[in-house]
């Protein structure tokens, strides 16, 4: 598997603007130019979308532990091949047969490319931004880059797999509304919605509440989640799975 991303900076804040993974045919490798050509035929080349929470990822040769600007990265608006983060490591081992030769788009609830934003004051700022999002007021983070334009969202492929999270602070009401609105809009667009959930909710409740378990977990849940994710992507489109 290969991963590619396009980074952007706005008022000294770094975001990922676009990201794709490519499921290779055997030992095949593509270049960023090859990716651009494939994206001209999205209907044929993009299998679907995976939604995550926020990115912590860097181009090859760079680290995600520090800002890209401090490492001398040039924000040129072009795709770069990426170092694997934990999600990409799992994707590489889990997504194979049935997806070879295809792209999967990676999207995020929040495009801010920064580690450990949860829980931090950043989420308070996100919540405030989302409360002001439709009012024309200024936002702390770029409203056109950091957040999904839900009513006008464009999705390629047949499915959307949500692994964007299930734990929302009850005080962050605008974030909760945002996550649920995204799920509802994807359903409205007629995409196959897939995710992992547990016994806390039934299938319909999990979707309505945007209760989508992340693929990456710690402790005793690490292998359980990873194995469940692999099972989800043993089919194309992926399968929704209840854990426990």
Residue 38 pLDDT class (50, 70, 90 cuts):
very high
Q: What is the percent of the chain where pLDDT is above 90?
A: 94
Which neighbouring-strand residues pair with 46? Answer: 103
How far is Cα 146 from Cα 229, in angstroms, rounded to an integer?
Answer: 26
143-167 burial, b if ≥16 CB within 10 A, otherwise e?
bebbbbeeeeeebbbebbbbbbbbe
* Polymer length in residues for the chain: 244
Q: What mean pLDDT comes out for the span 212-218?
A: 96
- Locate the domains of the chain by residue range: 2-243
Q: 3-state DSSP call for residue 121? A: helix
How far is Cα 89 from Cα 113, in angstroms, rounded to an integer?
Answer: 18
pLDDT at 135: 83
Tell me: the pLDDT tens digits for 121-154?
Answer: 999 999 999 999 888 788 999 999 999 999 999 9
């Amino acid at each position: 598997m290969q991963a590619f991303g396009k980074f952007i900076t706005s008022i000294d804040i770094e975001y990922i603007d676009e990201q794709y993974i490519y499921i290779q045919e055997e030992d095949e490798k593509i270049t960023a130019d090859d990716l651009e050509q494939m994206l001209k035929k999205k209907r044929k080349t993009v299998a679907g979308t995976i939604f995550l929470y926020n990115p912590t990822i860097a181009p090859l040769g760079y680290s995600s532990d520090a800002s890209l600007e401090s490492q001398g990265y040039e924000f040129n608006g072009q795709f770069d091949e990426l170092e694997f983060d934990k999600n990409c490591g799992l994707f590489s081992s889990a997504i194979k047969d049935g997806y070879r030769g295809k792209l999967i788009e990676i999207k995020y609830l929040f495009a801010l490319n920064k580690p450990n934003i949860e829980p931090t004051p950043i989420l308070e700022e996100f919540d405030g931004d989302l409360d002001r999002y439709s009012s024309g007021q200024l936002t702390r983070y770029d409203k056109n880059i950091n957040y999904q334009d839900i009513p006008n969202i464009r999705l390629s492929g047949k499915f959307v797999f949500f692994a964007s999270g299930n734990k929302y602070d009850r005080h962050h009401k605008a974030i909760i509304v945002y996550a649920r609105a995204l799920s509802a809009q994807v359903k409205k667009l007629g995409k196959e919605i897939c995710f992992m959930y547990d016994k806390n909710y039934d299938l319909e409740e999990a979707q309505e509440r945007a209760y989508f378990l992340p693929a990456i977990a710690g402790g005793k849940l690490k292998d359980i989640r990873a194995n469940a994710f692999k099972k989800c992507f043993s089919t194309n489109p992926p399968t929704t799975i209840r854990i426990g």
